[in-house]
Structure 1
Amino acid sequence: MLLILFPCFIFKTRVPFLFPFEHRAMASTLTVSSLLLTLNALLLLFLLPQCMTDAQPDLMACKFDAIYNVGDSMSDTGNLVRENSALPFARLPYGETFFKNATGRCSNGLLMIDYIARAAGVPFLHPYLDKDVLFLPCLGENFAVAGSTALSTNALAKKNILSPVTNSSLDVQLDWMSSHFNAACLNDQDCVKKHNKALFMVGEIGGNDYNYAFFQGKPVEEVNAMVPEVVQAIKDAVKRVIGYGAVRVVVPGNFPIGCFPIYLTAFQTNNAAAYDEFHCLKWLNSFSTYHNDQLKQAIEDLRKANPNVIIVYGDYYNAFQWVYQNAPLLRFDVASVQKSCCGAGGYYNFEMTKMCGAPNVPVCTNPEERISWDGIHLTEKAYQYMAYWLIRDILPKLNCNIVKFV
């Protein structure tokens, strides 16, 4: 029988991995078909990472000349540390892998937005609050702030939820965007013309609204009730960027937070039924799915109301799940797939009192083999694979080879 090899552009293979605390019985005999699948999986184990490196996704067909981004720590390239330079993100080990110094990115190196910019052939996004560089309005701008929320701090306060990191919520970032465009454009028509060739990223945002609620003791029913309001804030943000002339908008959803060390640590339980086959907390992933379903419906409503604008859902949930569930193929350390690289304490190498960047908190020697960087954010390598999955998913939907720029 011929051995079937998978081409580099196919990324649907999933090989379940074993956790150290799980014991699964191995079949005493292997059928010919199961042996074939096993051999294919072994080949993919060696070939797939190289395939993804050699065949980088290409957004250049869209001919974007700028990217504008709002969001939180998943895409902040340095705004929060300019609000507060005393934060851990302003010093090593953050940024150690790619930049060799801290840039304010909440990772050991690049973020997904960096890989998206690279694939589009535009420079890494400049953080809006960095006033020490030459103003280049035509190259895009990043308004994202780590720790920010979709709802305003006042709106959260009315729900007795504290936003402890920053007041630069989504509405504040959009105001910055407006000020930026007022300075960069001659008039509204000029802005519309310039933004015909720009990509707008609205999020990921909203995750912190839920993070703060959960970690301040709000029950899941109360956090569920927040979802329509959070989604409405994101929907309103998309309307605003369309008003600025955006014709291509990507709106990312939430991650499967039940797989993240911070949540696995805070909500760990001896009830085995609470976990899925990959040891993620099912109720938390169901919550993320609920938010994402609501967001997808909002995007559909926006498409109907704006038929000349291409609005694409950014499926961060399944991008992460693909990386996470194919960890062996992507050469991540399976024994540490749920452990943070930078951190200390507990099974997941994470404790709120010993977080990354604090004195004497160790960093693993092999961050390229880890998915989680600090228990909350991902490593550069995980973001790289997620970005590749995401770009391949959104590129056909952006219709860059069909709809011509005005």
Structure 2
Amino acid sequence: MSTATTKALSLLVLLFFVSLVHATDPCLINSIYQFGDSIADTGNLIRNGPTGAKSHAASFPYGQTYFQQATGRCSNGQLMIDYLARRLQLPLLNPYLNVNTTQPSSFSNGVNFAVAGSTALNSSFFTSRNLHVPATNTPLSTQLSWFKSHLRSTCHSPSCLKQSLIMMGEIGGNDYNYGFFQGKSTEEIRSYIPHVVGAIAAAAREVIRAGAVNVVVPGNFPIGCFPIYLTSFPVNDPKAYDDKGCLIRLNEFAVDHNNQLQEAISSLQKEFPGVVIVYGDYYNAFQYVLRGSVGFDKSVALKSCCGVGGGYNYDGMRQCGAVGVPVCQNPDKFISWDGVHLTQKAYRFMSKFLNYKILPQLKCGGA
């Protein structure tokens, strides 16, 4: 090998390692504000009145793997928002309704406004369509009110948010869940999509006008791969399932939502050219976990770790946390925790996929 070639290879190796160093440098984000539902709730639902306090996430086995106690997270351990906070070298976010966090410093690095079971749209949208939503529903409009109230007490200038990251969801999944599980047709539920996307875009617009310059707007999961949907909507025709056993029709519905959401994000980006608005691709992050299955047991890829009954280890009448419902011996082998939410390990792998895609796009240091 010639000297010139050796020098060239040495330079390439050097550049590669330099790029790795820069790739692991955390973005200078000093706070995170999380909106959403059970995918991100770190303890608001269980503090949201007597009904919330009795939810399954308020008791074991939720939280068993990492926290050794239930914290209100709908998993056996940490969520994607926890991994994101750690990646940015920030403390885990306190839930907004945690009355024990009375010190201002408890929220100095952001706040979690997400509440399990919440919707993007107000409850009136559903009641007008003869759909029941829980009394604990805390839609985006309410979460935004919390956000504004928090800012009024802690921030007196739009510059306060220049080094903040806004996580606008994931939200919207429950808007469709309430329709699907109360017997509405796919065609009718599909008509909800523009309303849901509009509510998410409007919320993103509000936080941007409040001064946010880094906004992540996540999409929906491939719901046709989740035990709750696979159990509730079985189809006899093998062609209704993809090569991984997921229901194609339901995944196509999620793709429709995600496509419309990305169109709305593009419009927002044109409206606010100086703001970074990033689509959080939860759909493909989940597919990355399912299809890669690194360290997971492929034989239980679509089954719940905590659950009982049927081909997917899920029974809506006997859910995880109920008396007599067993928990698998090794949650790290499973993607689904309880048929609706994922295991800590699945969230960790999804976070790696998402952080790699999202963080390089952010405006760091308030630049």
TM normalised by structure 1 equals 0.82
Matched residue, 2:366: 405
The reply to whether residue 179 of structure 1 matches residue 143 of structure 2 is no
Aligned pairs, number: 343
Q: In structure 1, how many angstroms separate the alpha carbons of the residues matched to 2:349 and 2:71?
A: 21
1:167, distance to aligned residue in structure 2 (A): 2.6
Query: Which amino acid counterpart does residue 93 of structure 1 have in structure 2?
Result: P
SS at match of 2:366: coil
Q: Alignment partner for residue 97 of structure 1, among 65, 69, 75? A: 65
Is 1:237 matched with 2:203?
yes
The equivalent position to 2:78 in structure 1, one of 107, 110, 129, is 110
What's the counterpart of residue 143 of structure 1? 113
Aligned to 2:273: 307
Distance of 1:375 and 1:257 partners within structure 2: 11
Q: 1: CA distance between counterparts of 2:310 and 2:21?
A: 37
Q: Unpaired runs of 5+ in structure 1?
A: 1-54
Correspondence for 1:349 among 280, 300, 313? 313
Post-superposition offset of 1:284: 0.2
1:250 shift after superposition: 0.3
**Are the equivalent residues in 2 in contact too, given 1:259–1:338 (CA < 8 A)?**
yes
The equivalent of 2:215 in structure 1 is 249
SS at match of 1:61: coil
Q: Is the Cα contact below 8 Å between 1:256 and 1:285 reproduced in 2?
A: yes
Query: What's the counterpart of residue 63 of structure 1?
Result: 28
Q: TM-score w.r.t. structure 2 length?
A: 0.91
- Report SS of the residue matched to 2:108: helix
Counterparts of 1:120 and 1:162 in 2: how far apart (Å)? 39
Q: Distance in 1 between matches of 2:351 and 2:21?
A: 10
Q: Does 1:393 align with 2:362?
A: no
Give the Å deviation of 1:164: 2.1
Q: Deviations over 1:229-251 (max 9, x none)?
A: 00000000001111221000000
CA contact (8 A) 1:58 1:120 kept: no
Give distance in 2, aligned partners of 1:71 and 1:113.
11
Equivalence for 1:223? 189
1:72 aligns with 2:33: no
Q: Deviations over 1:103-161 (max 9, x none)?
A: 00000000000000100111111100001122324210000000000000111111222
CA offset digits 1:148-192 (Å, max 9, x no partner): 00000111111222112623111100000010101111x2xx2x1
Percent identity of paired positions between Structure 1 and Structure 2: 52
Q: Report the Cα offset of residue 59 of structure 1.
A: 7.1
Counterpart in 1 of 2:333?
369
- In 1, Cα distance between the equivalents of 2:250 and 2:184? 13
Q: Match of 1:244, as an amino acid?
A: A
CA offsets per residue over residues 298-344 of structure 1, 9 Å max, x none?
000000000110000000000000100111xx110111111100000
Q: Assess if the C-alpha contact under 8 Å between 1:206 and 1:230 holds in 2.
A: yes
SS in 2 for 1:148: coil
Once the two structures are overlaid, the 10-residue window that deviates more, 378-387 or 56-65, is 56-65
Across the aligned residues of Structure 1 and Structure 2, the Cα RMSD in angstroms comes to 1.5
Residue correspondence of structure 1 range 14-53 to structure 2 within 5 A:
none
Partner of 1:33: none
Look up the match of 1:169. Answer: 139
Q: Is the 8 A contact 1:338 1:348 kept in 2?
A: yes
Moved more, 138-147 or 59-68: 59-68
3-state SS, counterpart of residue 235 of structure 2 = coil
CA distance in structure 1 between the partners assigned to 2:24 and 2:186 by the alignment: 39
The answer for the alignment partner of 2:96 in structure 1 is 128
Contact preservation (8 Å) 1:148, 1:208: yes
Give 3-state SS (helix, strand or coil) of 2:215's partner: strand
